[in-house]
Structure 1
Amino acid sequence: MSDTHPGRPRAADKRTFFERLVEFLSPGPDSKDELIETLADAEQRELIEPESRIMLEGVIRMADMTAGDVMVAARRMDMLDIDAAYDDLLGVVIGTGHSRFPVYEGERDNIIGVLLAKDLLKLQRAPELNLRTLLRPAVFVPESKNLNELLRDFRSNRNHLAVVIDEFGKTAGLITIEDVLEEIVGEIEDEFDDKNGESAVFTLADGSRRVAGDAPIAEVNGVFGTSYPDDEFDTIGGLVAQELGRVPRRGEAVDVGGLRFTVMLARGGAVRWFKVTPAPESADAPASQH
């Protein structure tokens, strides 16, 4: 008796005999490198869009990556001290522009929770509130945590930030859901990005300036009255990187020509935003140690 249902005709295989023979004789890629090459070939033949190829490659490569590969190192973490004054906390929140902050007590390695920037505003309206009551539980993950697993955890637990710990239980860094997603889709535009093609220099609430890493040197000179040369580099990010000898990382500060450039945001091996203030030598305050 035939297994085919009499009222359900078999779907026609539209491939030619030669196409089916080639598929039988040519096995698919047996390594990730070959699979990535196959995707590149598919893009060349316009079978998939470049954006699709990039995302698929990101998914493939992410399978071998861990939290330790993507995290922001502990020494560059922007954190809040539970015992700091409200104005000091607000200054850090405004200066860095993050939406979530690990909060520590005593020493930076003793993280007791996570504060959402929007929750800090509740203290302004109700000073009698205790900052501790506003903290959210901190999520801790090991450096070896696979990014695929971490992404599933972020989605299921609705967390956006995790503190990464090393094998000794010490804070190694932090990682956000944005960091993980950017391994798949590339850079994600955020509130720091200039979406309207406007000036690349903005004034912050504390009087300092936020300057895009790709801001033209001529524009920076015009705003700050500096005379940085633009014969070798077109952007301020390139000039600062030359001064340091490499691309600075988030939290690092570089003094150039009377100004201090502190990295607020870095993505994809490039600085997206600097916070620019007078260099200590040019200000009344003594130079700080970095």
Structure 2
Amino acid sequence: MDEGSDSRFWSKMRSLFRSNGHDLEEQILDAQDGGSLKREDASMLLNVLDLNDTTASDIMVPRTDIICADADCSLRHIAKSIVDSGHSRIPIYEETRDRMLGVIHAKDLLSSLLQHDKEDTPVRNLLRDLLFVPEMTNVKYLLATMRSRRTHMAIVVDEYGGTAGLVTLEDVLEEIVGDIEDEYDVLRPDDIQVMENDILLVSGRSTLEELNERFQLDVTSEQVDTLGGYLSEIAGRIPTPGDFFTLGERRYTVKDADAKQIKTILVEPLAPQEEEQQG
């Protein structure tokens, strides 16, 4: 926004929050329809309202996808992990991911590596405190806590105190402003890539609900929530790369998987002759 539009935006916000009329969400939508608010501004405000209904577990990176390192690793090994991931900081654990010790910042690591007499510094000496929050922590509260603690990262713990996932300040802000991309961004676990000819490349963690809503796939299950889980349910095992399933008018081909989960799936429409054979 330029200075003038920024002033008008906040002026409108003050009037909305002073108002005692109908529901605030409706007021925001009315302001958008009336031209008082730009669409992107209205979208951000609605997202702010939704923060009350969003929890840390809704936006966290799952435990299995956390980029982290063991405290017994060398500084150079951890530096390589940071460079490869593109992150500016990663959590450090002791023995298992359920015992997170702290977070190491790239600049602290670099400072030690540049001083040859400190290359063997124990990783534990460079750690900063981590914020730990329960899975059901309200994201609005989480944002306020991260600001007050001046931290960019929080470990989400389950009811038993084990590590359930990780949330960054960027994850929280993306709930308000949408995706924040930088030069290091890669395909995330929940990404869906739309390709030519109605072909999709999706993560195994993509939810059936989102896929059905966006692409009318008509794939449902009472047992699982994700596409990877659904294909595993059908197969009765974890499918291997190259396995495919014909469901309705589409073929689902497993592109990447390990012993525990399906990572990526290619979803493509059947050719006309294949549809006839299906019929």
What does 1:156-171 correspond to in 2, within 5 Å?
A: 156-171=148-163
The match for 2:88 is: 99
Q: CA deviation at 1:191?
A: 3.8
The number of aligned residues is: 196
Gaps (5+ residues) in structure 2?
A: 1-19, 208-225, 228-238, 243-254, 261-279
The match for 2:37 is: 48
What is the identity percentage for the equivalent residue pairs of Structure 1 and Structure 2? 38
The match for 1:28 is: 21
3-state SS of 1:169 partner? coil
Contact 2:192–2:206 (Cα < 8 Å) also in 1: no
Give TM-score scaled by structure 2 length.
0.60
What does 1:247-262 correspond to in 2, within 5 Å?
A: none
Contact 1:55–1:185 (Cα < 8 Å) also in 2: yes
Q: Against the structure 1 CA distance between its residues 190 and 136, is the aligned structure 2 distance closer, same or farther, given a 3 Å change threshold?
A: same
The match for 1:128 is: 120
Contact 1:74–1:173 (Cα < 8 Å) also in 2: yes
Q: CA deviation at 1:190?
A: 2.8
3-state SS of 1:51 partner? helix
- Partners of 1:288 and 1:134 in 2: how far apart? 33
Q: CA deviation at 1:67?
A: 1.4
Contact 2:75–2:120 (Cα < 8 Å) also in 1: no
The match for 2:202 is: 241
3-state SS of 1:83 partner? coil
The match for 2:64 is: 75
- Partners of 1:135 and 1:245 in 2: how far apart? 31
- Partners of 1:111 and 1:211 in 2: how far apart? 25
The match for 2:48 is: 59
Gaps (5+ residues) in structure 1?
A: 1-26, 194-209, 218-229, 258-278, 281-286
1:154-197 per-residue CA deviation (whole Å, 9 max, x = no partner) reads 1111111011111211111111111111111222233436xxxx
Q: CA deviation at 1:37?
A: 3.2
Contact 1:123–1:131 (Cα < 8 Å) also in 2: no
What does 1:272-287 correspond to in 2, within 5 Å?
A: none
Q: Against the structure 1 CA distance between its residues 38 and 192, is the aligned structure 2 distance closer, same or farther, given a 3 Å change threshold?
A: same
The match for 2:271 is: none
Q: Against the structure 1 CA distance between its residues 128 and 191, is the aligned structure 2 distance closer, same or farther, given a 3 Å change threshold?
A: same
1:114 aligns with 2:103: yes
Q: Against the structure 1 CA distance between its residues 288 and 164, is the aligned structure 2 distance closer, same or farther, given a 3 Å change threshold?
A: closer
Structural RMSD (CA): 3.4
3-state SS of 1:62 partner? helix
Give TM-score scaled by structure 1 length.
0.58
Equivalent AA in structure 2 for residue 52 of structure 1: D
Q: Against the structure 1 CA distance between its residues 132 and 62, is the aligned structure 2 distance closer, same or farther, given a 3 Å change threshold?
A: same
Which of 174, 194, 213 pairs up with 2:166? Answer: 174
Which of 79, 82, 92 pairs up with 1:90? Answer: 79
1:4-58 per-residue CA deviation (whole Å, 9 max, x = no partner) reads xxxxxxxxxxxxxxxxxxxxxxx722xxxx4323322221110211122011101
3-state SS of 1:121 partner? helix
Equivalent AA in structure 1 for residue 130 of structure 2: A
1:141 aligns with 2:133: yes
